[in-house]
Chain A
Amino acid sequence: MRWVIGALGVVMGAWGAFLLLPLVDVNLGLWFAGGPVVHDVLLAPFLGGLGLLIARWVPEPWRAPVQVGGILTGVLGLLAVPLLWRPFAGPPNPGLNDRDYLVGLLVAVGVIWLGVSAAALTGQARRRRTGAGGPTEQNKRPHADR
Protein backbone atom coordinates (compact mmCIF):
# COMPACT_ATOMS: atom_id res chain seq x y z
CA MET A 1 0.00 0.00 0.00
CA ARG A 2 2.79 2.43 0.92
CA TRP A 3 4.47 1.75 -2.38
CA VAL A 4 1.26 2.43 -4.30
CA ILE A 5 0.77 5.78 -2.53
CA GLY A 6 4.41 6.70 -3.03
CA ALA A 7 4.40 5.75 -6.72
CA LEU A 8 1.20 7.74 -7.28
CA GLY A 9 2.85 10.70 -5.58
CA VAL A 10 5.93 10.48 -7.80
CA VAL A 11 3.76 10.32 -10.96
CA MET A 12 1.62 13.30 -9.87
CA GLY A 13 4.69 15.33 -8.92
CA ALA A 14 6.35 14.53 -12.25
CA TRP A 15 3.20 15.66 -14.07
CA GLY A 16 3.26 18.92 -12.13
CA ALA A 17 6.95 19.42 -12.95
CA PHE A 18 6.18 18.80 -16.63
CA LEU A 19 3.41 21.41 -16.52
CA LEU A 20 5.63 23.87 -14.65
CA LEU A 21 8.70 23.48 -16.86
CA PRO A 22 7.66 26.00 -19.56
CA LEU A 23 6.89 28.59 -16.85
CA VAL A 24 10.11 28.29 -14.88
CA ASP A 25 12.22 31.44 -14.57
CA VAL A 26 14.18 33.14 -11.81
CA ASN A 27 11.15 34.90 -10.35
CA LEU A 28 9.12 31.70 -10.10
CA GLY A 29 12.12 29.86 -8.65
CA LEU A 30 12.45 32.50 -5.95
CA TRP A 31 8.77 32.24 -5.04
CA PHE A 32 9.09 28.45 -4.88
CA ALA A 33 12.22 28.41 -2.73
CA GLY A 34 11.25 31.48 -0.71
CA GLY A 35 8.62 29.83 1.49
CA PRO A 36 10.82 27.24 3.23
CA VAL A 37 13.71 29.70 3.56
CA VAL A 38 11.58 32.48 5.07
CA HIS A 39 9.91 30.00 7.41
CA ASP A 40 13.01 28.14 8.58
CA VAL A 41 15.34 31.13 8.85
CA LEU A 42 13.01 33.94 9.92
CA LEU A 43 9.52 32.92 11.01
CA ALA A 44 10.21 29.83 13.12
CA PRO A 45 13.19 31.30 15.06
CA PHE A 46 11.18 34.49 15.61
CA LEU A 47 8.24 32.52 17.00
CA GLY A 48 10.58 30.39 19.08
CA GLY A 49 12.14 33.52 20.56
CA LEU A 50 8.73 34.96 21.26
CA GLY A 51 7.69 31.72 22.99
CA LEU A 52 10.85 31.90 25.07
CA LEU A 53 10.10 35.48 26.13
CA ILE A 54 6.55 34.49 27.09
CA ALA A 55 7.84 31.53 29.08
CA ARG A 56 10.30 33.75 30.95
CA TRP A 57 8.34 36.91 31.55
CA VAL A 58 4.65 36.08 31.54
CA PRO A 59 3.37 34.76 34.90
CA GLU A 60 1.64 31.42 34.98
CA PRO A 61 -2.12 32.10 34.82
CA TRP A 62 -1.49 34.40 31.85
CA ARG A 63 1.01 32.25 30.00
CA ALA A 64 -1.20 29.87 28.03
CA PRO A 65 -3.84 32.51 27.14
CA VAL A 66 -1.10 34.90 25.96
CA GLN A 67 0.37 32.17 23.77
CA VAL A 68 -3.01 31.40 22.24
CA GLY A 69 -3.76 35.10 21.74
CA GLY A 70 -0.36 35.60 20.13
CA ILE A 71 -0.92 32.71 17.72
CA LEU A 72 -4.37 33.96 16.68
CA THR A 73 -3.06 37.53 16.27
CA GLY A 74 -0.20 36.25 14.11
CA VAL A 75 -2.52 34.23 11.87
CA LEU A 76 -4.86 37.19 11.35
CA GLY A 77 -1.86 39.43 10.69
CA LEU A 78 -0.57 37.08 8.00
CA LEU A 79 -3.98 36.84 6.33
CA ALA A 80 -4.21 40.64 6.28
CA VAL A 81 -0.88 41.17 4.48
CA PRO A 82 -2.26 41.02 0.90
CA LEU A 83 -5.12 43.32 1.90
CA LEU A 84 -3.00 45.97 3.61
CA TRP A 85 0.13 45.85 1.44
CA ARG A 86 -1.10 46.51 -2.10
CA PRO A 87 1.56 48.05 -4.33
CA PHE A 88 1.02 45.18 -6.79
CA ALA A 89 -2.76 45.15 -6.79
CA GLY A 90 -4.72 44.94 -10.02
CA PRO A 91 -7.08 47.67 -11.26
CA PRO A 92 -9.68 48.69 -8.68
CA ASN A 93 -12.81 46.55 -8.62
CA PRO A 94 -15.74 48.36 -7.05
CA GLY A 95 -17.17 46.51 -4.10
CA LEU A 96 -14.46 43.87 -3.87
CA ASN A 97 -11.68 45.15 -1.61
CA ASP A 98 -13.14 48.31 -0.16
CA ARG A 99 -13.67 47.46 3.47
CA ASP A 100 -11.49 49.15 6.04
CA TYR A 101 -9.26 46.15 6.63
CA LEU A 102 -6.95 47.85 9.12
CA VAL A 103 -9.85 48.76 11.41
CA GLY A 104 -11.32 45.26 10.97
CA LEU A 105 -8.02 43.66 11.88
CA LEU A 106 -7.60 45.87 14.94
CA VAL A 107 -11.14 45.12 16.13
CA ALA A 108 -10.63 41.35 15.70
CA VAL A 109 -7.29 41.49 17.52
CA GLY A 110 -8.91 43.57 20.28
CA VAL A 111 -11.64 40.95 20.71
CA ILE A 112 -9.02 38.19 20.89
CA TRP A 113 -7.05 39.98 23.62
CA LEU A 114 -10.23 40.66 25.58
CA GLY A 115 -10.74 36.89 25.44
CA VAL A 116 -7.15 36.36 26.58
CA SER A 117 -7.68 38.66 29.57
CA ALA A 118 -10.98 36.99 30.45
CA ALA A 119 -9.42 33.51 30.28
CA ALA A 120 -6.44 34.53 32.41
CA LEU A 121 -8.56 36.34 35.03
CA THR A 122 -11.01 33.45 35.40
CA GLY A 123 -8.02 31.10 35.67
CA GLN A 124 -6.59 33.29 38.41
CA ALA A 125 -9.92 33.41 40.25
CA ARG A 126 -10.29 29.63 40.04
CA ARG A 127 -6.78 29.16 41.35
CA ARG A 128 -7.51 31.46 44.28
CA ARG A 129 -10.75 29.62 45.06
CA THR A 130 -9.13 26.19 45.07
CA GLY A 131 -6.27 27.53 47.18
CA ALA A 132 -2.57 27.59 46.53
CA GLY A 133 -2.29 23.85 47.09
CA GLY A 134 -2.30 21.29 44.36
CA PRO A 135 0.35 20.64 41.76
CA THR A 136 0.32 23.90 39.80
CA GLU A 137 2.92 24.66 37.16
CA GLN A 138 4.72 26.91 39.65
CA ASN A 139 5.47 24.48 42.42
CA LYS A 140 6.46 21.78 39.97
CA ARG A 141 9.10 24.05 38.46
CA PRO A 142 10.45 26.58 40.96
CA HIS A 143 12.03 28.87 38.33
CA ALA A 144 9.09 28.96 35.96
CA ASP A 145 8.11 32.50 36.92
CA ARG A 146 11.58 33.96 36.67
Chain B
Amino acid sequence: MKVPALKVPARESSPHTATRIGLWLGIAFGLCFVTGLLSHYVQHPPGWFAWPTRPVGLYRITQGVHVTSGVAAIPLLLAKLWTVYPKLFARPLVKSVPHALERGSILVLLGASFFELVTGLFNATQNYPWQFFFPPAHHAVAWIAVGALLVHIAVKLPLMRTPAEEVRLSSSHPGKLSRRGFLLTTGGAAAVAVLATAGGTVPWLRTVSVLGTRSAALPVNRTAAAAGVSTVDSDWRLTVGSRQFSRPELEALPQTTAELPIACVEGWSASARWTGVPVRDLLALAGVEPGDVRVESLERDGLYRASTLPAAHARDPLTLLALEVDGETLSLDHGYPCRLIAPSRPGVTQTKWVTRLEVVR
Protein backbone atom coordinates (compact mmCIF):
# COMPACT_ATOMS: atom_id res chain seq x y z
CA MET B 1 0.00 0.00 0.00
CA LYS B 2 1.35 3.42 -0.94
CA VAL B 3 -0.98 5.43 1.24
CA PRO B 4 0.83 4.96 4.61
CA ALA B 5 4.17 5.63 2.90
CA LEU B 6 2.96 9.15 2.04
CA LYS B 7 2.29 9.77 5.77
CA VAL B 8 -1.35 10.50 5.18
CA PRO B 9 -3.36 10.33 8.39
CA ALA B 10 -5.25 7.05 8.19
CA ARG B 11 -8.75 7.72 6.89
CA GLU B 12 -11.55 5.48 8.06
CA SER B 13 -14.91 5.27 6.40
CA SER B 14 -17.49 7.36 8.20
CA PRO B 15 -20.74 5.42 8.50
CA HIS B 16 -22.77 8.33 9.81
CA THR B 17 -21.93 10.56 6.84
CA ALA B 18 -22.29 7.59 4.50
CA THR B 19 -25.82 6.81 5.73
CA ARG B 20 -26.87 10.49 5.50
CA ILE B 21 -25.72 10.77 1.89
CA GLY B 22 -27.07 7.27 1.30
CA LEU B 23 -30.51 8.45 2.34
CA TRP B 24 -30.42 11.35 -0.16
CA LEU B 25 -29.10 9.04 -2.84
CA GLY B 26 -31.83 6.52 -2.04
CA ILE B 27 -34.49 9.21 -2.49
CA ALA B 28 -32.95 10.29 -5.82
CA PHE B 29 -32.76 6.68 -7.06
CA GLY B 30 -36.31 6.00 -5.87
CA LEU B 31 -37.72 9.02 -7.72
CA CYS B 32 -35.67 8.16 -10.79
CA PHE B 33 -36.80 4.53 -10.78
CA VAL B 34 -40.52 5.21 -10.30
CA THR B 35 -40.67 7.97 -12.93
CA GLY B 36 -38.56 5.91 -15.33
CA LEU B 37 -40.86 2.93 -14.90
CA LEU B 38 -43.89 5.16 -15.52
CA SER B 39 -42.28 6.43 -18.72
CA HIS B 40 -41.62 2.85 -19.81
CA TYR B 41 -45.23 1.83 -19.16
CA VAL B 42 -46.62 4.92 -20.92
CA GLN B 43 -44.69 3.87 -24.03
CA HIS B 44 -45.30 0.12 -23.68
CA PRO B 45 -48.53 -0.09 -21.67
CA PRO B 46 -49.29 -3.44 -20.08
CA GLY B 47 -53.00 -4.35 -19.87
CA TRP B 48 -53.41 -3.17 -16.28
CA PHE B 49 -51.77 0.21 -16.86
CA ALA B 50 -53.73 3.42 -17.37
CA TRP B 51 -52.14 6.86 -17.73
CA PRO B 52 -54.29 9.94 -17.02
CA THR B 53 -54.72 12.72 -19.58
CA ARG B 54 -54.73 15.45 -16.89
CA PRO B 55 -52.84 17.49 -15.93
CA VAL B 56 -51.77 18.07 -19.53
CA GLY B 57 -48.16 18.44 -18.35
CA LEU B 58 -48.12 15.24 -16.28
CA TYR B 59 -45.57 13.45 -18.44
CA ARG B 60 -43.54 16.66 -18.62
CA ILE B 61 -43.35 16.61 -14.82
CA THR B 62 -42.60 12.90 -14.35
CA GLN B 63 -39.92 12.83 -17.05
CA GLY B 64 -38.44 16.12 -15.82
CA VAL B 65 -38.20 14.58 -12.34
CA HIS B 66 -36.64 11.47 -13.87
CA VAL B 67 -33.80 13.28 -15.60
CA THR B 68 -33.31 15.82 -12.79
CA SER B 69 -33.12 13.21 -10.03
CA GLY B 70 -30.68 11.24 -12.16
CA VAL B 71 -28.45 14.29 -12.59
CA ALA B 72 -28.61 15.03 -8.85
CA ALA B 73 -27.65 11.42 -8.13
CA ILE B 74 -24.29 11.82 -9.93
CA PRO B 75 -22.59 14.04 -7.29
CA LEU B 76 -24.43 12.18 -4.52
CA LEU B 77 -23.09 8.82 -5.71
CA LEU B 78 -19.54 10.16 -5.96
CA ALA B 79 -19.75 11.69 -2.46
CA LYS B 80 -21.20 8.48 -1.08
CA LEU B 81 -18.36 6.44 -2.59
CA TRP B 82 -15.82 8.93 -1.25
CA THR B 83 -17.03 8.34 2.31
CA VAL B 84 -16.70 4.56 2.00
CA TYR B 85 -13.67 4.37 -0.32
CA PRO B 86 -11.31 3.16 2.44
CA LYS B 87 -13.52 0.08 2.82
CA LEU B 88 -12.39 -1.03 -0.61
CA PHE B 89 -9.00 -1.80 0.89
CA ALA B 90 -10.32 -3.65 3.94
CA ARG B 91 -8.43 -6.87 4.54
CA PRO B 92 -9.11 -9.77 4.50
CA LEU B 93 -10.85 -9.39 1.17
CA VAL B 94 -13.61 -11.75 2.26
CA LYS B 95 -14.24 -12.88 5.80
CA SER B 96 -17.13 -15.27 5.30
CA VAL B 97 -19.76 -16.36 2.81
CA PRO B 98 -22.23 -13.61 3.83
CA HIS B 99 -19.41 -11.05 3.65
CA ALA B 100 -18.51 -12.28 0.15
CA LEU B 101 -22.16 -12.01 -0.89
CA GLU B 102 -22.36 -8.49 0.55
CA ARG B 103 -19.26 -7.33 -1.33
CA GLY B 104 -20.59 -8.98 -4.48
CA SER B 105 -23.94 -7.21 -4.13
CA ILE B 106 -22.14 -3.87 -3.73
CA LEU B 107 -20.17 -4.52 -6.92
CA VAL B 108 -23.46 -5.21 -8.74
CA LEU B 109 -24.99 -2.08 -7.17
CA LEU B 110 -22.08 0.07 -8.32
CA GLY B 111 -21.93 -1.40 -11.82
CA ALA B 112 -25.66 -0.91 -12.29
CA SER B 113 -25.69 2.58 -10.73
CA PHE B 114 -22.85 3.91 -12.88
CA PHE B 115 -24.40 2.25 -15.93
CA GLU B 116 -27.73 3.97 -15.34
CA LEU B 117 -26.31 7.41 -14.56
CA VAL B 118 -23.74 7.44 -17.37
CA THR B 119 -26.02 6.04 -20.10
CA GLY B 120 -28.86 8.30 -18.91
CA LEU B 121 -26.65 11.40 -18.99
CA PHE B 122 -25.38 10.61 -22.49
CA ASN B 123 -28.86 9.76 -23.74
CA ALA B 124 -30.21 13.08 -22.45
CA THR B 125 -27.84 14.81 -24.88
CA GLN B 126 -28.48 12.23 -27.63
CA ASN B 127 -24.92 10.98 -27.63
CA TYR B 128 -24.43 7.22 -27.98
CA PRO B 129 -20.89 5.93 -27.49
CA TRP B 130 -22.14 2.32 -26.97
CA GLN B 131 -23.42 -0.37 -29.32
CA PHE B 132 -26.54 -1.62 -27.49
CA PHE B 133 -30.05 -0.17 -27.86
CA PHE B 134 -30.48 2.29 -25.00
CA PRO B 135 -34.15 1.98 -23.81
CA PRO B 136 -34.35 -1.77 -22.99
CA ALA B 137 -30.84 -1.82 -21.48
CA HIS B 138 -31.52 1.27 -19.31
CA HIS B 139 -34.83 -0.28 -18.21
CA ALA B 140 -33.40 -3.72 -17.34
CA VAL B 141 -30.38 -2.37 -15.47
CA ALA B 142 -32.67 -0.04 -13.48
CA TRP B 143 -34.31 -3.11 -11.92
CA ILE B 144 -30.87 -4.54 -11.11
CA ALA B 145 -29.72 -1.24 -9.57
CA VAL B 146 -32.79 -0.83 -7.37
CA GLY B 147 -32.81 -4.53 -6.45
CA ALA B 148 -29.15 -4.35 -5.39
CA LEU B 149 -29.89 -1.09 -3.56
CA LEU B 150 -32.65 -2.75 -1.52
CA VAL B 151 -30.29 -5.62 -0.64
CA HIS B 152 -27.68 -3.05 0.40
CA ILE B 153 -30.24 -1.18 2.54
CA ALA B 154 -31.30 -4.45 4.18
CA VAL B 155 -27.67 -5.24 5.05
CA LYS B 156 -26.84 -1.74 6.32
CA LEU B 157 -30.08 -0.93 8.15
CA PRO B 158 -28.58 -1.49 11.65
CA LEU B 159 -25.80 0.99 10.82
CA MET B 160 -28.39 3.64 10.06
CA ARG B 161 -29.89 3.19 13.50
CA THR B 162 -26.51 3.68 15.18
CA PRO B 163 -26.80 6.83 17.31
CA ALA B 164 -25.10 9.72 15.56
CA GLU B 165 -22.87 10.56 18.53
CA GLU B 166 -21.41 7.09 18.74
CA VAL B 167 -20.66 7.03 15.04
CA ARG B 168 -19.24 10.53 15.16
CA LEU B 169 -16.80 9.66 17.92
CA SER B 170 -15.57 6.52 16.21
CA SER B 171 -15.07 8.08 12.81
CA SER B 172 -12.45 10.49 11.60
CA HIS B 173 -13.38 13.45 9.44
CA PRO B 174 -13.26 12.97 5.66
CA GLY B 175 -10.45 15.17 4.42
CA LYS B 176 -9.99 18.71 5.63
CA LEU B 177 -13.62 19.71 5.30
CA SER B 178 -15.59 19.20 8.46
CA ARG B 179 -18.26 16.53 8.44
CA ARG B 180 -20.94 19.16 8.22
CA GLY B 181 -18.98 20.98 5.52
CA PHE B 182 -18.71 17.80 3.51
CA LEU B 183 -22.47 17.19 3.73
CA LEU B 184 -23.20 20.81 2.78
CA THR B 185 -20.79 20.63 -0.15
CA THR B 186 -22.41 17.40 -1.36
CA GLY B 187 -25.88 18.95 -1.19
CA GLY B 188 -24.53 22.08 -2.89
CA ALA B 189 -22.94 20.03 -5.67
CA ALA B 190 -26.25 18.25 -6.29
CA ALA B 191 -28.03 21.63 -6.39
CA VAL B 192 -25.45 23.08 -8.83
CA ALA B 193 -25.78 20.00 -11.04
CA VAL B 194 -29.57 20.44 -11.14
CA LEU B 195 -29.38 24.20 -11.80
CA ALA B 196 -26.88 23.64 -14.61
CA THR B 197 -29.13 21.22 -16.48
CA ALA B 198 -32.79 21.68 -15.50
CA GLY B 199 -33.35 24.61 -17.90
CA GLY B 200 -34.25 22.10 -20.59
CA THR B 201 -37.57 21.57 -18.86
CA VAL B 202 -37.93 24.47 -16.37
CA PRO B 203 -38.33 27.63 -18.51
CA TRP B 204 -37.18 30.18 -15.91
CA LEU B 205 -33.89 28.31 -15.44
CA ARG B 206 -32.99 28.50 -19.14
CA THR B 207 -30.40 31.27 -18.78
CA VAL B 208 -28.78 29.70 -15.70
CA SER B 209 -28.64 26.19 -17.12
CA VAL B 210 -25.42 26.47 -19.06
CA LEU B 211 -25.40 22.69 -19.61
CA GLY B 212 -29.11 22.39 -20.42
CA THR B 213 -30.44 21.08 -23.71
CA ARG B 214 -33.20 22.83 -25.71
CA SER B 215 -31.84 26.21 -26.63
CA ALA B 216 -34.77 26.98 -28.97
CA ALA B 217 -38.33 27.67 -27.90
CA LEU B 218 -39.58 24.55 -29.65
CA PRO B 219 -36.83 22.20 -30.86
CA VAL B 220 -37.24 19.58 -33.56
CA ASN B 221 -36.19 16.16 -32.36
CA ARG B 222 -36.56 14.38 -35.69
CA THR B 223 -36.23 16.52 -38.77
CA ALA B 224 -38.18 15.84 -41.95
CA ALA B 225 -34.89 15.09 -43.70
CA ALA B 226 -33.93 12.51 -41.05
CA ALA B 227 -37.37 10.94 -41.38
CA GLY B 228 -37.13 10.82 -45.18
CA VAL B 229 -40.11 13.14 -45.66
CA SER B 230 -39.05 15.63 -48.33
CA THR B 231 -42.16 17.31 -49.74
CA VAL B 232 -45.86 16.80 -49.22
CA ASP B 233 -47.89 17.48 -52.38
CA SER B 234 -51.54 18.41 -52.77
CA ASP B 235 -52.76 14.85 -53.20
CA TRP B 236 -51.87 14.09 -49.57
CA ARG B 237 -54.97 12.77 -47.73
CA LEU B 238 -55.64 11.89 -44.12
CA THR B 239 -57.42 8.53 -43.94
CA VAL B 240 -59.75 7.96 -41.00
CA GLY B 241 -61.58 4.64 -41.27
CA SER B 242 -63.19 4.84 -44.74
CA ARG B 243 -63.13 8.69 -44.92
CA GLN B 244 -60.42 10.81 -46.48
CA PHE B 245 -59.64 14.43 -45.71
CA SER B 246 -57.48 16.87 -47.68
CA ARG B 247 -55.68 19.61 -45.80
CA PRO B 248 -58.20 22.33 -46.89
CA GLU B 249 -61.01 20.07 -45.68
CA LEU B 250 -59.30 19.73 -42.30
CA GLU B 251 -58.85 23.51 -42.14
CA ALA B 252 -62.58 23.97 -42.81
CA LEU B 253 -63.55 21.83 -39.80
CA PRO B 254 -64.14 23.45 -36.36
CA GLN B 255 -60.71 24.13 -34.83
CA THR B 256 -59.56 23.80 -31.24
CA THR B 257 -56.61 25.72 -29.84
CA ALA B 258 -54.79 24.41 -26.77
CA GLU B 259 -51.56 25.12 -24.90
CA LEU B 260 -49.87 21.72 -24.73
CA PRO B 261 -46.29 20.68 -23.96
CA ILE B 262 -44.03 18.49 -26.01
CA ALA B 263 -42.19 16.48 -23.39
CA CYS B 264 -39.36 14.37 -24.66
CA VAL B 265 -38.15 11.16 -23.03
CA GLU B 266 -34.71 12.79 -22.98
CA GLY B 267 -36.06 15.22 -20.39
CA TRP B 268 -36.45 18.48 -22.27
CA SER B 269 -39.92 19.90 -22.70
CA ALA B 270 -41.51 22.95 -24.28
CA SER B 271 -45.01 24.33 -24.34
CA ALA B 272 -46.70 25.71 -27.46
CA ARG B 273 -50.15 26.80 -28.67
CA TRP B 274 -51.45 24.18 -31.04
CA THR B 275 -54.48 24.61 -33.33
CA GLY B 276 -56.19 21.76 -35.11
CA VAL B 277 -59.06 19.29 -35.22
CA PRO B 278 -59.76 17.09 -32.17
CA VAL B 279 -59.11 13.44 -32.98
CA ARG B 280 -62.46 12.45 -31.48
CA ASP B 281 -64.28 14.79 -33.93
CA LEU B 282 -62.51 13.14 -36.87
CA LEU B 283 -63.44 9.68 -35.58
CA ALA B 284 -67.06 10.81 -35.19
CA LEU B 285 -67.13 12.29 -38.73
CA ALA B 286 -65.80 9.01 -40.10
CA GLY B 287 -68.43 7.14 -38.09
CA VAL B 288 -65.83 5.03 -36.26
CA GLU B 289 -66.40 3.79 -32.71
CA PRO B 290 -63.71 5.32 -30.50
CA GLY B 291 -61.09 3.08 -28.93
CA ASP B 292 -57.31 2.76 -29.04
CA VAL B 293 -56.19 4.58 -32.17
CA ARG B 294 -53.19 3.69 -34.28
CA VAL B 295 -51.60 6.81 -35.77
CA GLU B 296 -49.43 6.30 -38.84
CA SER B 297 -46.93 8.65 -40.40
CA LEU B 298 -45.57 9.38 -43.86
CA GLU B 299 -42.26 8.30 -42.41
CA ARG B 300 -41.39 5.05 -44.17
CA ASP B 301 -39.48 3.37 -41.38
CA GLY B 302 -37.95 4.23 -38.07
CA LEU B 303 -38.99 3.18 -34.60
CA TYR B 304 -41.46 5.97 -34.08
CA ARG B 305 -43.21 6.08 -37.47
CA ALA B 306 -46.48 5.04 -35.80
CA SER B 307 -47.93 5.26 -32.31
CA THR B 308 -50.95 3.94 -30.50
CA LEU B 309 -53.14 6.49 -28.79
CA PRO B 310 -54.88 4.94 -25.77
CA ALA B 311 -58.70 5.21 -25.77
CA ALA B 312 -58.67 7.72 -22.90
CA HIS B 313 -56.44 10.06 -24.89
CA ALA B 314 -58.39 9.49 -28.14
CA ARG B 315 -61.59 10.60 -26.37
CA ASP B 316 -59.97 13.69 -24.85
CA PRO B 317 -61.17 16.98 -26.41
CA LEU B 318 -57.60 18.36 -26.28
CA THR B 319 -56.07 15.53 -28.32
CA LEU B 320 -55.56 17.29 -31.66
CA LEU B 321 -54.42 16.66 -35.15
CA ALA B 322 -52.62 19.98 -35.20
CA LEU B 323 -52.42 22.09 -38.36
CA GLU B 324 -50.82 25.16 -36.77
CA VAL B 325 -48.38 25.91 -33.97
CA ASP B 326 -48.23 29.32 -32.29
CA GLY B 327 -50.55 30.76 -34.96
CA GLU B 328 -48.50 29.63 -37.96
CA THR B 329 -48.87 26.71 -40.34
CA LEU B 330 -46.77 23.76 -39.18
CA SER B 331 -43.35 23.66 -40.79
CA LEU B 332 -42.33 20.42 -42.45
CA ASP B 333 -39.94 19.73 -39.54
CA HIS B 334 -42.82 20.11 -37.08
CA GLY B 335 -44.96 17.63 -39.00
CA TYR B 336 -46.73 19.41 -41.91
CA PRO B 337 -49.44 18.69 -43.11
CA CYS B 338 -50.66 17.60 -39.67
CA ARG B 339 -49.31 16.08 -36.49
CA LEU B 340 -50.68 14.47 -33.39
CA ILE B 341 -50.50 16.44 -30.16
CA ALA B 342 -52.10 14.94 -27.08
CA PRO B 343 -52.01 15.97 -23.41
CA SER B 344 -49.67 14.11 -21.01
CA ARG B 345 -47.83 11.96 -23.57
CA PRO B 346 -44.14 11.36 -24.36
CA GLY B 347 -42.83 13.34 -27.33
CA VAL B 348 -41.90 10.23 -29.33
CA THR B 349 -45.58 9.24 -29.43
CA GLN B 350 -46.71 12.65 -30.75
CA THR B 351 -46.52 11.34 -34.30
CA LYS B 352 -45.71 13.80 -37.11
CA TRP B 353 -46.69 13.80 -40.83
CA VAL B 354 -49.84 11.81 -40.00
CA THR B 355 -51.52 9.94 -42.86
CA ARG B 356 -53.88 7.52 -41.17
CA LEU B 357 -55.95 7.12 -38.01
CA GLU B 358 -57.27 3.64 -37.36
CA VAL B 359 -59.17 2.32 -34.36
CA VAL B 360 -57.47 -0.92 -33.39
CA ARG B 361 -59.68 -2.00 -30.46
**Which residue numbers of A lie inside 8 Å of B, CB to CB?**
1-3, 5-6, 8-17, 19-20, 23, 25, 27-28, 31-36, 38-40, 43-44, 47-48, 51-52, 54-55, 63-64, 67-68, 71-72, 75-76, 78-83, 85-99, 101, 104-105, 107-108, 112
Instruction: Look across to chain B and name the residue whose beta carbon is closest to the beta carbon of A76.
Output: B196
Please tell me if the beta carbons of A108 and B210 are within 8 angstroms of each other in the complex: yes
Closest 8 CB pairs of A and B: A35-B114, A95-B216, A13-B147, A16-B143, A104-B210, A9-B150, A95-B219, A6-B154
Contact-residue size bin, chain B (C-beta under 8 Å from the other chain):
35 or more
Please tell me if the beta carbons of A23 and B192 are within 8 angstroms of each other in the complex: no
| Residue with the greatest number of chain A CB neighbours at <10 A, chosen from B85, B129, B140, B219 | B140
Given A31-B130, A68-B177, 9 extra CB contacts under 8 A: A9-B154, A20-B141, A54-B176, A72-B189, A76-B193, A89-B127, A90-B128, A95-B218, A96-B126
| Known contacts A28-B137, A78-B74, A94-B220, A33 near B111 by CB under 8 Å | yes
**Which residue numbers of B lie inside 8 Å of A, CB to CB?**
6, 8, 71, 74-75, 78, 81-82, 85, 88, 107-108, 110-115, 118-119, 121-122, 124-133, 136-137, 139-155, 157, 175-177, 181, 185, 188-189, 192-193, 196-197, 210-223, 226, 268, 333
| Known contacts A83-B211, A108-B196, A44 near B85 by CB under 8 Å | yes
Please tell me if the beta carbons of A8 and B131 are within 8 angstroms of each other in the complex: no
Nearest CB of B to A137, in Å:
8
Q: Which of A3, A105, A107 contacts B154 (CB 8 A)?
A: A3
A-B contacts, 16 listed (Cβ < 8 Å)? A5-B153, A9-B149, A9-B153, A12-B146, A31-B119, A35-B110, A35-B113, A38-B114, A44-B85, A51-B176, A72-B192, A95-B218, A95-B219, A95-B220, A104-B211, A105-B210
Nearest CB of A to B152, in Å:
8
* Separation of A68 and B151 alpha carbons in the complex (Å): 32
* Separation of A3 and B111 alpha carbons in the complex (Å): 23
| Known contacts A13-B151, A68-B188, A94 near B223 by CB under 8 Å | yes
Chain A interface, >50% SS class = helix
Please tell me if the beta carbons of B146 and A75 are within 8 angstroms of each other in the complex: no
Cβ contacts under 8 Å, A40 to chain B: 85, 88
Instruction: Look across to chain B and name the residue whose beta carbon is closest to the beta carbon of A48.
Output: B85
Please tell me if the beta carbons of A93 and B126 are within 8 angstroms of each other in the complex: yes
| Known contacts A64-B177, A67-B185, A91 near B226 by CB under 8 Å | yes
Please tell me if the beta carbons of B176 and A55 are within 8 angstroms of each other in the complex: yes
Q: Which of A13, A28, A36, A67 contacts B175 (CB 8 A)?
A: A67
Please tell me if the beta carbons of A9 and B148 are within 8 angstroms of each other in the complex: yes
Cβ contacts under 8 Å, A6 to chain B: 150-151, 154-155
Cβ contacts under 8 Å, B216 to chain A: 94-96, 98
